[in-house]
Amino acid sequence: MMTVAWGSIGCMWNRPFAQIVVRPQRYTMEYIERSDCFTLCAFPEKYKQNLLHLGTVSGRDCNKLADTPFTLMASSSVLSPSYEEASLILECRKMYAQNMDPQCFITDTASKVYPEKDYHRIYFGEIVKAFGV
């Protein structure tokens, strides 16, 4: 699992979607690639430091979940797990994935975010279940 901030929620191809962007070096990407689904979990403010931890340490180097109070649980409609402490859970089935193409950047707003040329991979997931407030 990893912390994500960039993305969007909307309607596409007549389906509700959550869209995320993942850099190729993330360990989590290997799991997303192997699976046909992913979950997005939002947490109460008191877990901010835990989310920072999950967003700065890689699961390649340690069992970072063990350093948090988060409890894995089965999701209802997808195989990807969720977390009991989440206040909002979006269960998503992957619909579309594409590597960002730097030739398509129109201004330098986007290109200046990639000094290492580690362009994100974009995923659109159909929201098949949503729980929470």
Ligand X SMILES: Cc1cc2nc3c(=O)[nH]c(=O)nc-3n(C[C@H](O)[C@H](O)[C@H](O)COP(=O)(O)O)c2cc1C
Residue 35 binds to ligand X (criterion: CB under 6 A): no
Smallest separation, CB 7 to ligand X (Å)? 6
Residue 41 binds to ligand X (criterion: CB under 6 A): no
Q: Are 123 and 20 in contact (CB under 8 A)?
A: yes
DSSP 32-47: HHHSSEEEEEE--GGG
Smallest separation, CB 14 to ligand X (Å)? 26
Residue 57 binds to ligand X (criterion: CB under 6 A): yes
Size of the site for ligand X (CB under 6 A): 18
104 vs 46: CA distance, rounded Å: 39
Residue 58 binds to ligand X (criterion: CB under 6 A): yes
Q: Specify the long-range contacts of residues 4-10, CB closer than 8 Å, at least 24 apart.
A: 4/40, 6/120, 7/40, 9/90, 9/127
Considering only residues 9, 12, 42, 52, which one is a binding residue for ligand X as defined by CB under 6 A? 52
Residue 28 binds to ligand X (criterion: CB under 6 A): yes
8-state DSSP, 87: S
Residues in contact with ligand X by the rule CB under 6 A: 2-6, 21-23, 26-28, 52, 55-60
